[in-house]
Amino acid sequence: MFRRWLHAGIIFAGLLLITACGSAETPRYVPPADRVPLNADHAWPKNSFLVLGYHDVEDDAADQRYLSVRTSALNDQLAWLRDNGYHPISVQQIVDAHAGKIVLPEKAVLLTFDDGYSSFYTRVWPLLERYKFPALWAPVGSWVDAPANQPVDFGGLKTARDKFATWEMVREVSKSPLVEIGAHTWASHYGVQANPQGSKEPAVANRLYDKNTGQYETDAQYEARINADLDRVTKKITEVTGKAPRAWVWPYGAANGTTLKLARQHGYEMAFTLNPGLANAARLDDVPRILISDNPSLRNFASQVAQVREEQTMRVMHIDLDYVYDKDPVQQRKNIDKLIQRVYDMRITHVFLQAYADPEGDGNIRELYFPNRWLPMRADLFNFIAWQLQTRGGVNVYAWMPVLAFDLDDAVPRVAAWSPDSGRAAVDRQHYVRLSPWSPVARQRINDIYEDLARHASFHGILFHDDAMLTDFEDASPDALRAYQAAGFPASIAEIRRDPQTLERWTRFKSQALIDFTKQLTETVRAIRGPQVKTARNIYAMPVLDPASEAWFAQNLNDFLSTYDWTAPMAMPLMENVPPEQADAWLDSLVNRVARIPGALDKTVFELQARDWRKTGEHADISGEQLAHWMRQLKLSGAKNYGYYPDDFINDHPEMSAIRPTFSSYWYPQK
């Protein structure tokens, strides 16, 4: 839940700015020569490279059970790469570039082939030799190890043994200077039950859930299972080829931080995902790849390659799990299906999914939707819904999490506000009741909660909630005051506020402290979930519109842009008490303020409101027509990425038919 009110002084300052905005500017015509060029028109970043991910190659039908392409198609694609200035590179060149020994050529490309099909030996290798293209071949050890004439269990599909290579083929190919042998696990290329609902998720990246005991794998059990697999596949490849493998290829592209740590211990130097974008030699623990499947036409292949550098446009729905949860499992299942269908039909890119319970709507978090050490679990629901949204809804899911507003036991220190009237410090219940970020106990428990989330769920990113804020009277708790003194500030907030320069330094100190804490939480999540996890953080509108208001929030736009993958301003005019007739101008001013910073619009997602929290009941719902109008205004002002909160999928608020053409290009101009 976003905070539904603002400090009276903040409102007043905001209205002053609004008055100065005037009316929204009419979009200006930009001549073609003055338009921002596509990323494809710029030089490639230093030591960047493109990775193409292939699987089986067949002469006839391209069986998509094995993500096959036809031999003729692969030949055409290699010729296209050669003829369009792409430079084939090897794993060794990438390693050398990482070490600073060489610089990769522009438009460098690496070919990878997964699973260990015999077609690599019979069809791919001859093409590599013809074109002089290096490649990485990453077999699944147990499939290549299968006895002769015995079908291979390919994810439950009985597959003829000769579909897969033999170790002798691997040995022969490994002698070629063009081929690097990597590892695709020994026998972990399958899905395991990863939650009570029975979701099958990649075994190497997720902890098993035992339905008989109702327990998840412990850290020790998980690491023992992964270590055994790593040890076996590494030893076998080393024995066969005479060289220890150094390239780890994630099954299904699903990465995991714990497994990555163990892989490094076994000598692996790079890990390949299926994440979008260009790779870079500076970052080998998260190497993205383009998945080549469905036997694409040459036109479609070229389009995939050409667009790899273009930023994805973000379209976001905020989903409250409180809308999904129901004590009645039958009704809850209906709610889930309705949600997934709505997200799929909307054709958006991202969902910010609430990982906590807030049925009271006060922002004080007393329950969570995942197993954890410090708060009751309302239901073990987050991972299941996140996985459903990813696999059935086709979206990226960010875990929407509080930073400080966890209602832990009373012994854990809260943020205290100093009152100039009484001269005393007390918890300010006008805002979120937050744990003090300077309390070692609070920090550790919050870190534990984030750690537990990462253990028990699969997601693409973290959204840090808007509760990570401090007013110009906060934090006056004992731990905070000690931190201020240690940093060279006076011993009381009263003294700090007397001097404008000291107040400004204190504001910056607090802003950075909150950022540093979210960085710590990010590192905690990535250590378990993987380096590919993205970050986003909510920022109130006023610190965007008026940098001086950082004092009231301890939030700074420039800091956010340089720290997080995404900055999410709360573009909610009615929440800021903006008169409806001035909402367009206010949105325009918000976007224009962000646009002053080079490249900022590429990293900013504007979040609109679908409810007017000043009203109650059905009167609080903002119409789909109004929301669509605001979306159009954002686009006309230059915004690229936007979303809204909340989505009431049960009652079709906002109305999908009204917002869908503006929200998703898939439906434009349809309804």
Q: Over 575-618, what HEC string results?
A: CCCCCHHHHHHHHHHHHHHHHCCCCHHHHEEEEEECECCCCCHH
Query: Among all chains, which residue has been given the structure tokens 């790469």?
Result: 81
pTM, entire model: 0.93
CB 427 within 8 A of CB 480: no
Query: Among all chains, which residue has been given the structure tokens 């002698």?
Result: 175
CA–CA separation, 272 and 332 (whole Å): 37
Parallel, antiparallel or unpaired: strands 135-139 and 247-249: unpaired
What CA dihedral angle connects 33, 36, 40 and 45, to 10 degrees? Answer: 120
138: which strand partners? 114
Residue 24's identity, in one-letter code, is A
Would you give the end-to-end CA distance of the chain in angstroms? 29
Q: Report the half-sphere exposure of 286 (CA within 13 A, side-chain side).
A: 15
CB 122 within 8 A of CB 142: no
Q: Is the bond preceding residue 475 a cis peptide, omega within 30 degrees?
A: yes
Distances (CA, A) of 138 to 114, 120, 215, 228, 504: 5, 10, 33, 18, 55
Q: Tell me which residues of the chain have a pLDDT lower than 50.
A: 1-25
Torsion sign, CA atoms 468, 474, 479, 481:
positive
Please list, in sequence order, all residues whose beta carbon lies within 8 angstroms of the beta carbon of residue 85, skipping any fewer than 6 positions away: 107
CA–CA separation, 301 and 137 (whole Å): 21
- What pLDDT score was predicted for residue 616? 86
CA–CA separation, 403 and 341 (whole Å): 30
Residue 563's identity, in one-letter code, is T
Distances (CA, A) of 261 to 186, 230, 460: 17, 11, 19
CB 461 within 8 A of CB 534: yes
Question: Of 530, 532, 455, which is closest to residue 257 (Cα–Cα)?
Answer: 530
The string of pLDDT tens digits covering residues 175-216 is: 999 999 999 999 999 999 999 999 999 999 999 999 999 999
Query: Among all chains, which residue has been given the structure tokens 């979009």?
Result: 27
Q: Report the half-sphere exposure of 130 (CA within 13 A, side-chain side).
A: 11
Question: Is 16 strand, coil or helix?
Answer: helix
- What pLDDT score was predicted for residue 29? 59
CA–CA separation, 651 and 648 (whole Å): 6
245: which strand partners? none
With vertex at residue 558, the alpha carbon angle to CA 552 and CA 562, rounded to the nearest 5 degrees, is: 130
25: which strand partners? none
CA–CA separation, 533 and 463 (whole Å): 11
CB 293 within 8 A of CB 55: yes
Which structure tokens are listed for 98? 């990482």
CB 273 within 8 A of CB 288: yes
DSSP string, 524-539: HHHHHH-TT-EEEEEE
The string of pLDDT tens digits covering residues 240-288 is: 999 999 999 999 999 999 999 999 999 999 999 999 999 999 999 999 9
Distances (CA, A) of 95 to 101, 173, 230: 9, 21, 21
Please list, in sequence order, all residues whose beta carbon lies within 8 angstroms of the beta carbon of residue 363, skipping any fewer than 6 positions away: 1, 3, 402, 405, 432, 467
537: which strand partners? 464, 567
Parallel, antiparallel or unpaired: strands 350-354 and 566-569: unpaired
Distances (CA, A) of 524 to 114, 501, 531, 561, 639: 30, 35, 10, 21, 32
Ramachandran angles phi, psi of 306, nearest 5°? -65, -30
Question: Of 528, 397, 514, which is closest to residue 467 (Cα–Cα)?
Answer: 514
Question: Is 32 strand, coil or helix?
Answer: helix
Q: Is the bond preceding residue 202 a cis peptide, omega within 30 degrees?
A: no
Let me know if 55 is exposed, middle or buried by CB neighbors in 10 A (0-12, 13-18, 19+): buried
Residue 134's identity, in one-letter code, is P
Residue 458's identity, in one-letter code, is S
Torsion sign, CA atoms 339, 341, 344, 347:
negative
The string of pLDDT tens digits covering residues 344-382 is: 999 999 999 999 999 988 889 999 999 999 999 999 999
Please list, in sequence order, all residues whose beta carbon lies within 8 angstroms of the beta carbon of residue 444, skipping any fewer than 6 positions away: none
Let me know if 599 is exposed, middle or buried by CB neighbors in 10 A (0-12, 13-18, 19+): exposed
Find the DSSP H helices in 202-357.
Answer: 219-241, 257-265, 298-306, 321-324, 329-346
Q: Over 248-259, what HEC string results?
A: EECHHHCCCHHH
CA–CA separation, 547 and 358 (whole Å): 31
Q: Is the bond preceding residue 669 a cis peptide, omega within 30 degrees?
A: yes
Which structure tokens are listed for 69? 């392409």
